[in-house]
Structure formats: C-alpha cells, structure tokens
C-alpha cells in the first residue's frame, strides 16, 4: 500500500494553522468609504445598503473618529451636493461638500483622507463628464477632473482617486497637481473599472444613476481581461501611484493579473452590490455574515489586493481586533 500524503498534519491545531497561513488580513488593509451630504445632524441610512449612511459633515466627523478608534487608517470620500448642474460645478468649488469634509476630518482625526474624483455625483445627468452629442466627451472632461483634484488637494486631501475612466485623466491630474505645488499628492487610479451591474446601491447612495444611456462607452466591458493590463500600464505611465480594480469579487482573476504584472500597489473596491448581497443573505438567515465577510475580504487579499476599499471595514476591524 502506498503511503498516504497527510496534509492534515498542518491543520491539526489552531497554532499550526496560524503558523502556516499563507494570507492574512490586517486592519491596515482597509479603506472605509463615506458619503457626505450638506446639512447638519443628518444620518440617512441608504435603503439598499443597511448600516451605510449619507452623513452631514458633523456626522462624518463622528464616523471618522469611530473608524480611527478601530485602527482603520484611511477613508475615501464621496460627495452628495445639494445642487447639480450640467457641468458638475459643485465638484471643484472651494466650498464644495467634499472640500468641507476633508478639512473637518483633518481637523479632528489623523486619518489619511482619499477623495473620489469624478463628475457623476455632481452632474444633473449623472454621467462622469461633459456631454456632447449625447455622450461624455473625453478631452473636454479632463480639465474638469483636474480642477476637481486640485480643489481636493487644496482642501487638504492626502490622495486623489479618479474614477471616471476618461483616457488621459491621470496625466491631466498629475500635471495640474504638479503645476500648483502638489507634486507629493499621490494618485490612486480606478484604472480597471468595469461597466458592472454591482454598482446599483452606490448609485442610490450618491444619487448618480445616469439620466440617459449607460456608461459602457467609457467603462470596461466585463468580458475583457487583457484590456485591464493595457489600462493599468497606461495609467502607471501617466503617473498613477496605485492601481485599482473595481468591482472586486467577480474580478479576482483581474486583480491577480494586475498584481503579477505591475510593480505599484494594487487596490480593489469591494463594491456596494457585493456588500448588499451579503447583507440580504444574512438578513434572511442564509449565511453567517461575519464568516462570509471575512472570507470575502480574504479572497481579495489572496488574489493580490494590497488595499481593499470596503463598506465592511468597521465590521472587519472589530473582528480582527478581537
């Protein structure tokens, strides 16, 4: 009889399992998304995202402090302005909602503040830039994005994260920042962002559903794999310091491809639809929420994510802190 290969020898106790663990999660891996709105004492739960809120600046400070106390090092801000127009002018005003939130968080915490740079939350049509002939015009949008990024840096942001998927936007933002004395502000590019069905709850939270058409003319086709590397390489060449893949759970293969091919850190976005599905399944008693959350985040880390943007950041931090 041939000898049995006994892999179970290294699974026999908690200690040995910990010693040979190949992938570990840390609170340092997480970036916590926050939705900021105008007003005071506002804390409106997003119906499709239980536990996630639209927050006025005073409430954002409380949320940021709670995250910091759990050991989370960074937040990423998304703005929900009172007024929207065709040009998304609220995105780059010095008294815009994100600009105010940056200053407040920096005043009350030591968190590393990242800002989403895009126009969709600020435009009346819900698209990510300037509309010409029924579609987003790439080149005329670049200056809008660069102005927005500059306004965030001027307000005190530590990093900007363009999510629009316009060609050339990293170079435009890098040039704008450098020309205005912000050469040390890093760019985390949503380089590999797919036209996904997983974004629905986010669009509820940010009131950014397109009024017409879709974003398929500028976001990536979910069928494409090689194109992800093309986008990543392009953005690195233009000056991106970190490359992001979005969504994460259905694109673990893409995260691994980018990790294996790029020498910059790789982030992934555990998006709103992924969050909402776990919450819904847990509410119905179909899964153990804590176990599934940790397994899901671990899969993203195992695939190659150095950083994970996740609405589960606080829950995961509490689990890890035990």
CA 288 remoteness from chain centre: 25
Q: Mark whether 193 is an active-site residue.
A: yes
Sign of CA dihedral 128, 134, 135, 136: negative
What is d(CA 106, CA 89) in angstroms, rounded to the nearest whole number? 24
Extract the tokens encoding 290. Answer: 């804590």
> 321 by DSSP, 3-state: which?
helix
What is d(CA 56, CA 265) in angstroms, rounded to the nearest whole number? 32
Count the neighbouring beta carbons within 10 Å of the beta carbon of residue 286.
Answer: 10
> DSSP assignment of 254-295, as one string?
HHHHHHHH-SS-EEEEE-HHHHHHHHHHHHTTSS-HHHHHHH
138-155 and 169-179 helices, crossing angle to 10°: 40
Extract the tokens encoding 224. Answer: 């494409």
Catalytic residue of the set 84, 100, 193, 314? 193
Extract the tokens encoding 214. Answer: 């879709």
What is d(CA 142, CA 134) in angstroms, rounded to the nearest whole number? 18
DSSP E strands, the chain:
30-37, 43-45, 53-55, 74-80, 112-117, 131-132, 135-136, 159-162, 188-193, 242-246, 266-270, 307-310
Q: Mark whether 216 is an active-site residue.
A: no
Catalytic residue of the set 246, 279, 301, 314? 246
Catalytic machinery residues: 193, 246
């Amino acid at each position: 009889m041939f000898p049995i290969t006994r892999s179970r020898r290294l699974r026999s106790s908690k200690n040995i399992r910990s010693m040979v663990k190949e992938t570990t999660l840390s609170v340092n891996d997480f970036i916590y998304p926050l939705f900021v709105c105008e007003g005071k004492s506002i804390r409106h739960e997003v119906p499709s995202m239980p536990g996630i809120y639209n927050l006025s600046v005073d409430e954002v400070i409380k949320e940021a402090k709670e995250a910091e106390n759990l050991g989370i090092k960074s937040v990423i801000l998304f703005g929900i302005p009172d007024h929207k127009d065709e040009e998304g002018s609220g995105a780059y005003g010095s008294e815009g909602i994100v600009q105010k939130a940056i200053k407040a968080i920096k005043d009350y915490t030591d968190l590393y503040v990242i800002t989403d740079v895009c126009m969709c939350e600020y435009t009346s049509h819900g698209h990510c830039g300037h509309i010409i002939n029924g579609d987003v015009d790439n080149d005329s949008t670049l200056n809008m994005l660069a102005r927005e990024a500059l306004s965030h840096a001027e307000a005190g942001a530590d990093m900007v994260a363009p999510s629009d998927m316009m060609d050339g936007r990293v170079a435009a933002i890098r040039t704008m920042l450098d020309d205005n004395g912000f050469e040390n502000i890093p760019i985390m590019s949503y380089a590999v962002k797919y036209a996904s069905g997983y974004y629905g709850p986010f669009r509820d939270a940010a009131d950014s559903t397109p009024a017409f058409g879709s974003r398929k003319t500028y976001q990536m086709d979910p069928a494409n794999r090689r194109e992800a590397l093309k986008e990543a390489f392009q953005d690195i060449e233009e000056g991106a310091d970190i490359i992001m893949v979005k969504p994460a759970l259905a694109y673990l293969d893409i995260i691994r491809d980018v990790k294996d091919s790029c020498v910059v850190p790789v982030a992934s976005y555990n998006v709103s639809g992924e969050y909402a599905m776990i919450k819904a399944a847990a509410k119905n008693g179909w899964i153990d929420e804590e176990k599934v959350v940790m397994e899901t985040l671990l899969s993203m880390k195992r695939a190659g994510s150095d950083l994970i943007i996740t609405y589960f950041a606080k829950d995961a931090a509490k689990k890890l802190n035990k």
